[in-house]
Structure formats: C-alpha cells, structure tokens
Structure 1
Amino acid sequence: MDNFIINKKGDFEDSLSKEHYFQSLVQVLHSKNLLKIKDIESIQLQVLNILKEMVGYYTKNKSSSLRVEIAEQIMLSVYYTLGIFLKSQPTMEESIALIKKKEIKYLFAQGEKVLRAKIDECQRLLEITKETRVKTENYAYIDTIDYGIPLFFKEYDPRFASQGIPGSIDYPLAISESYLVGIEYIEDYLNKVILENKFCSYFNCAEIEALLKGFNKDSNHMLINIFQLVLINYLGRILAGKEGRSLEITKGDRAYLKSMMKNLSQLEFKKLIFQAEEKLRKELSIRDKKLMEYINRTLCQVAPEIKKHIETDTLENIFITLNKSEENMLKYEDGESLEDSKFRYITEEIRDCSKVEEKIEIIREEFHSLKDLVDVFSADCIFDDEFIDIFKALDDFEVALLMVVISNDKVLDIDYGTESDKEWRGKFKEYLESLDDRKKEDIIKISQGIDI
C-alpha cells in the first residue's frame, strides 16, 4: 500500500488542501488505509490535548470556558501550525512517516519553529520590497507596502491565530494564490511583489507613471497591477519590432499589430506570444528563472485578453499610449537639510577619514537631502578619484538627481563656480562618460522625468 502512495504521489498531493493541509493529509491517509481508526483517534486526542494547553495559555489559566468561535480559531491555528511543518518536509514520504511515528506535540513544536523562521524571512522580504519599490503615486501600492504589510507583522498572532491574515493588503498582484493563508500568504505575496518590482526596474519610472496615466487619468486611486501594465506594453513593442527599453506605443504601432495578428489562428497567436516572450527575455538580459516563470504565467493569463481586443478592435485599451503631460513629471521633494554647525562637524569628520569607504558610510548615514549631498561635494572633504567611488555608491535615481541639478545650473561645461564646484562636476562628468551606453540612457531617462 505504501508503494501505491509513492507511485501516485502527484495525484496524492493534488488531493490535499493547501489551507487545511494537516486535516486533509490525515483524511487521505485514512482513505488509503495508511492510518487506522485507532490512529485517527490517537491523533484527535493529542490535538485536543494541545488545544486544552493553548486555551490555558489564552485565558492565563483563569477560566476553563471560552467562546466557541475563539476555540475554533485556536483549533484552526493548531492545525495550521502542524500543517506548515509537514509542508516543509523535502518529500511526501517523510511527512507521512512523521505523522505515523512522531507525537503530535512534537510536530506542533516543530511547526512553531517553522512559523518563527518564516516570520523572520518575511520581514527580510519586506525590506527588499521597500528597497526595490516602484516610484509611483498609486495609493494602493504605497499604502500596502508602507502600512498594510507592516500592520500584518504588528497584529499577526502565530500562537492563537497562525492562519490569520491581519493588516490591509489591497494592492493586487498579477498572479495571486487565493488558497494561501497566514504567513504563507504574506511570504508568497512579498516574493511576487519583489519579482514585479524587479521587472519594473528595467524601465524609466517616469514612463511607468505616464503609462499609468495613459491607462486612466485617475490611476493613482485605482486597484491596478503596475507590473502587468508594464509587461503588456513592452510585449506590444516587441511584437511591433521596436527596440530599446521604452514603453511608448503609438497609434501606428497598434494599427500594425492589428494587421499582423488579426487573421492568426489560436495556435499561431500562441506561438507569436511565446516568441515575443523569448525575445523580451533576451532584450532585458533576464537570468532570474523565477522572474521568467512569473512573466510566463502572467502572459498565459493575459494572452486571451490581447486576442479579444484584437477581435473587437479595441487594442488601445490594452496597448496604452503614454500620457506624458507635465503633470505626470515626478515631483521631487527634498529631505530636511542639516543645520550649518552639524554640517560643518560632519564634513570635518569626512575630511579626517583615510578610506573612501568610511566617507561613503558617513554620507549615507548623515545626509538625507539633495542640497546637503551637493554641498558636501564642494566642502573640500572629498578628493580626486574619491568622487568617482562615491558616485558609484549612489543608486540610479540619486545619480539622475545630480544630472538634473547640473542641467538646471547649465554647468556641464564646467566653466564657472568655485574650484571645488568645478572639481566635483568635472568628476561627475567623467563618471557619466565611464558608464555603458544602456545604463547612461536609463539614467538620462530617469532624470527627464524628475521635476526639482
């Protein structure tokens, strides 16, 4: 009978509930005669003993009575904790062996350890999500990352409600897994947001905002998935034979796409989408297998929509023309500048550093405004090629901000200003010239979408 389970592993796993994993696993094992009635009764008794202990913790042993709905919630939490440990096993055979040979209390204790590890991992994923976030004004996206998910960690109760999903997570993913609950839901959500952010990072943030405005002028207040809109528009450019990382699609592009695809069979259309997906991967030099799998799943989901818009002659609703009006410029608001005395103290500290890495660390920790960053370059505390190392340590958006500063001052020719001004601007120009063409083009595009 054990061989039957192993040989039919795929069918066996498919019959298990992702949400109620432990309960469904026990039921299936019983239906396959791998657990006898006496085994089921023993498991139930052990679970009830854990529940009794948990109720004692919940009431602090001050009461033996509890509202039914609270007791049911704690029972579901016990089941979820047991399930999350069994899911973590490398093979189904090992999960089955654990149920048959180990005490349920042992499985529960191990499940609590898995829960704690997942909470720590998800908090790390949230930091990555914040670091890679798309620069957008979409309210649901901002609110979910800044408030909704942090609220989950604040209110999540791994002991008495490990299956719960507190917080406020409104931003929709391109691909969501509705069967996941508890910390598994957050883990899946954050991993996917990071993939979506990574894809969007290939494109100019100002063009992404223009794309959202082209989709709908009130896109900031809509529950829309940014990644999916970006992916579809870039796919449209690939299909139209356009090169580069722009998201711009014109009326002429749509006319060409319609004429090219309107008479394709379903099989021919799928082949065309697959070829465009492969070209997309090469154009962006994507090596992340998980990202490509996510892109593939998303395109499989949206391909029928593209086909439908071709048939109804409404391609403008899926391949969007960017709205590049002035109001879509990304308005940069500078951080708070340091007081003069504090600024002078820090620049003295920077001047005394013998290593450029130490200077970079101080700049990163102490300066939180563009004004202070520009001023420190002219403060005679950074010398020669240290400027280049510091520019390399900046992210693309910060470099783009410096480009805007220089462009606004019209000093790219380095003809005036103090000697210190001339030095850092000259080094900045040298740094820009050292960049490869693609990276330089990306930074220039970012700078063009910033209004200081």
Structure 2
Amino acid sequence: MKNFIIKNTDKVEGSLSQEYYFQSLLQYAYSNDLLSKEQFENIQIQIIGILKELVGYYTMGESTSVRVEVAESLLLSIYYTISLFLKNNFKAIESIDLIKKNNIKEIFNKGQKLLKVKLNECTTLLEYITKTKILIKNYAYIDTMEYGIPLFFKEYNFRYESHEVPGSIDYPLANYEINLAGVEYIERYLKNLYLENLFCSNFNFKDIDELLNGYDKKSYHLLINVFKIVLTNSIGSILLNRSAKNLLITSSDKIYIEYKLKDLSEAQLKDNILMAIEKICSEFSIDNQELINYLNNISVEISHEININKIDKIFITPNNEKENIIKYKDRKSIKNNLFRYVTEEIRTCNTVEDKIKIIKEDIHSLRDLVDVLGADCIFEHEFYKVFNSLEDIEIALLIKYLPSNKDLDSDYGTESEKEWHEKLKEYLDYIDDYRKKNIMSLSNKIEI
C-alpha cells in the first residue's frame, strides 16, 4: 500500500489543499499510515510548543494566554508558515519524510525567512505593476491598484497572521488561484496582474476605454477583467487579417468571423485561436514565456466561449464604430416617357445579359430600378441574374422596399411587385450566409 502511494506522487499532490497544505499533509500521511500515531502526536506537541513561544512574543511576555480566536489565528499562521517552506522546496512525500525526521521549529523558522523573501519579491512586483498601469476608467481596477494592493503591504503581519490577505483587492483577473492565502495569494495575484498590464500596454489606452464603453456604457462601475476583453478583440482582429493592435470590430466584422468559424470543430476552433495568439505575440514581439503561457491559457477559455456562445456576445464593438446610420439620397428619376421606352426595350431583349446592360446604362436611381423590377419586363430565372449583377449596397437598398425588411415574410402590392419581392427573397436564401448577413446588416443601417 505504501509503495503504491509513493509511486503516485502526483496524485498525492493533487489531493492536498493549497490553502491548508500542512494540515492536509498531516491528515493524508496519518490516514495512509505514512505517519504513526506517535509521530503524529509528537508533531502536534511541537506545534503547541511553537504556539506558546509565539503567544509570549504576541503579549510581549506579559501573559501566557490569549483569547481563543487569537490563539486559533496564531495556530493558522504557524501552519501557513510551515506550509510555505514545504511547498516551495519539497514534494509531498519528501515533506512527510522531512517532518518525521526534523525539528518542526527549524522548519517553521525557515518558513519565516522565506516569508520575508517572498514579501521583498512582491514589493518588486508592485513596482513593475505600477510602471505598467493601464490608464482606464474602471473603479475596481483603479482602487485595487492605488489603494487595495498597497494596503496589503501596510497591514500584512508575517509573524502572527501570515495566512491572512489584508487590503481591498476587488479587481478580478482573467486567471488566478483562489485557493491560496497570505503572501502566496498576493504573489500570484501580482504576477498575473503584471502579465495582464504588460499585454495591455501594447494598445492605445483610448482604444481600450472605447472598447470598454462598447461593452457597457457604465463599464467603469463593473467588476470586469479588462485584459480578457482586449485580448478577445485582438484575436478577432487577427481572424479578420488585420493588425492585432486594432480593437475595432464592427457588426459586419462579427458576421464575417461567424462565417469563418461556423463549420469548425471544437479542436479546429482551438487551433485557430492558438494560431491567432502566435500572430499577436509575433506582432508585439512578445518573448516573455510566462506571458505567452498566460495568453495561451486564456485563449483556451475564449475558444470554449466562442464554441458555446454567439459571436455577437464574444467580440465587442467599440462606441467609435462609424457605421451606425447610412443616409441615402436617391438620384433624380428619368421622365415617364423615357422610362416607358427603356422598359419596352428591356422587354424585347433576347437575353438577360442584354437586359442587364440596358439597366446598367440607363437606370441610375433606386426608385427607377424598383419600378423596372415591377414593370413586367424581367421574368422568372432572369431575376436571379439581374440581382447577381448588382452591388451589395444596391441589394441592401432594394430590401428597404420590401414590405417587411426584418423578417421578409409578408407582402402586398401588384402581382408584378409581389413577383420581384419573392424573387429577391429567394435570391437572399440562395446566396451564402455571410453575404446575406452582411447585406441585411447594411440594409438595417440605411435610412432612405
């Protein structure tokens, strides 16, 4: 049984709590006969000895007793300090051998020294984070950067409360361990925040603000992760064959991305997103391996979200999108007698190609084109070729003349008008989804 456990070191590591490492290590070792009852009790006695000594320091020698809650906190601090040293230097099985053979007080003292080292490293990290701070209007981010994190260093007590995380850290990261405590928590938080800041520093902060405003007009009040929103739109920009630095993704762009990704399997989608990350790293000359790994990890989440959600919800359209309303001013219509002559000429053509040529040469206004379509001079299969000869903007304009340009499911008018309406619907159903969505999106923006 013991040999089996030793050979499965990874399973042992995975079964232990990261927040209460030493306690779970003792429990695991005792439950699996890796510690005898006598050894287990001896370790507990040594812990009590450290606690008594710590109480003496805490009360400055004035008392040998404290309130129960203070004693419990001191005990947790002792466990945490020992845990920190063991986790950072040994595997679980090695740690069990260590605590069986060594004085627990020595391990505790080494843990306290390591705490000081970790605190100094975190102070340096804070300097890096301050230098890479994103200049955005998000209260949680600003408050955490300027008040919450500095408060940790001001109030953290590594001697008596090493397991605590003082301060006010509200800003959510894209990826961080929540099952850590004390200096380990702040170390992981600061490392990940630094990586996120470092990535976002490649972008114009004004562009980021506009992107967040596109996410929500009151984004400055929300607990949102800015880095992930920026990364997602940067990936979208790569999928559009643009610069990674460009965060502008329009409504039409989303239609194209959806069209490009719609038939991909989950594995293919993941590969496409990872390739986008490679291009982003190349464009920004990112060679920090920690940042590259971080980007890859978050990209897996983004890939999964794209797979289960609508593209429109994944990629954000900044508020500086310049395609809101298109005001169309029609050209002057030709005179009635000339119009009758043109329609008669079209009617007598032998081929649809000749009809299209006349339309291109003589019809220059939308109103005249609509009238030609309903003038009994184009028939059956000819409609498809006529529509196919038009630009997307012209098709989008024709849709405005349909009885219902939203659902295309109702009609009225003369029989000739109904015919071209129906043929246009059939044409829209025939063309590929991407082009249809793009035309419909364009039509919705047109104001006649």
Q: How do 1:65-144 residues align onto structure 2 when only pairs under 5 Å count?
A: 65-92=65-92, 94-144=94-144
Partner amino acid for 2:276? A
C-alpha separation between the residues in 2 aligned to 1:216 and 1:264? 30
1:147-171, CA deviations, whole angstroms, 9 ceiling, x for partnerless residues?
Answer: 1011111111111111101100011
Quote the offset at 1:53 in angstroms. Answer: 1.2
Quote the offset at 1:97 in angstroms. Answer: 3.4
Coordinate RMSD, CA, aligned: 1.8
C-alpha separation between the residues in 2 aligned to 1:255 and 1:146? 40
Partner amino acid for 2:223? L
Q: How do 1:53-452 residues align onto structure 2 when only pairs under 5 Å count?
A: 53-92=53-92, 94-310=94-310, 315-324=311-320
Using the size of structure 2 for normalisation, the TM-score is 0.68
Q: Percent identity?
A: 48
Quote the offset at 1:211 in angstroms. Answer: 0.9
Name the counterpart of 1:24. 24
1:408-444, CA deviations, whole angstroms, 9 ceiling, x for partnerless residues?
Answer: xxxxxxxxxxxxxxxxxxxxxxxxxxxxxxxxxxxxx
C-alpha separation between the residues in 2 aligned to 1:237 and 1:261? 14
1:292-326, CA deviations, whole angstroms, 9 ceiling, x for partnerless residues?
Answer: 1111221222322222333xxxx33321122249x
Name the counterpart of 2:443. none
Aligned residues of 1:115 and 1:183 also touching (Cα < 8 A): yes
Of the structure 1 ranges 249-258 and 273-282, higher mean CA displacement relative to structure 2 is found in 273-282
C-alpha separation between the residues in 1 aligned to 2:179 and 2:223? 21
Aligned residues of 2:12 and 2:92 also touching (Cα < 8 A): no
1:266-290, CA deviations, whole angstroms, 9 ceiling, x for partnerless residues?
Answer: 2332232233223323232221111
Of the structure 1 ranges 18-27 and 279-288, higher mean CA displacement relative to structure 2 is found in 279-288
1:176-229, CA deviations, whole angstroms, 9 ceiling, x for partnerless residues?
Answer: 211011000000000000100111111111111111111112112211111001
C-alpha separation between the residues in 1 aligned to 2:265 and 2:287? 31
Name the counterpart of 2:46. 46
Aligned residues of 2:2 and 2:33 also touching (Cα < 8 A): no
Of the structure 1 ranges 174-183 and 88-97, higher mean CA displacement relative to structure 2 is found in 88-97
Quote the offset at 1:126 in angstroms. Answer: 0.6
Of the structure 1 ranges 95-104 and 178-187, higher mean CA displacement relative to structure 2 is found in 95-104
1:39-98, CA deviations, whole angstroms, 9 ceiling, x for partnerless residues?
Answer: 001000000011111112222232333222211111111100110011121544543332
**Partner SS, residue 235 of structure 2:** helix
Larger radius of gyration: 2
**Partner SS, residue 306 of structure 2:** helix
Unpaired segments of 5 or more residues in structure 2?
322-448
**Partner SS, residue 158 of structure 1:** coil
Which 4+ runs in 1 deviate beyond 3 A?
1-6, 90-94
Aligned residues of 2:2 and 2:32 also touching (Cα < 8 A): no
Unpaired segments of 5 or more residues in structure 1?
326-452
Partner amino acid for 1:320? I
Using the size of structure 1 for normalisation, the TM-score is 0.68
Aligned residues of 1:77 and 1:162 also touching (Cα < 8 A): yes
Quote the offset at 1:3 in angstroms. Answer: 5.1
Partner amino acid for 1:184? E
Of the structure 1 ranges 282-291 and 2-11, higher mean CA displacement relative to structure 2 is found in 2-11
Partner amino acid for 1:46? Q
Name the counterpart of 1:388. none
Aligned residues of 1:204 and 1:246 also touching (Cα < 8 A): no
Partner amino acid for 2:313? N
Aligned residues of 1:215 and 1:317 also touching (Cα < 8 A): no
Aligned residues of 1:22 and 1:79 also touching (Cα < 8 A): yes
**Partner SS, residue 279 of structure 2:** helix
Report the number of matched residues: 321
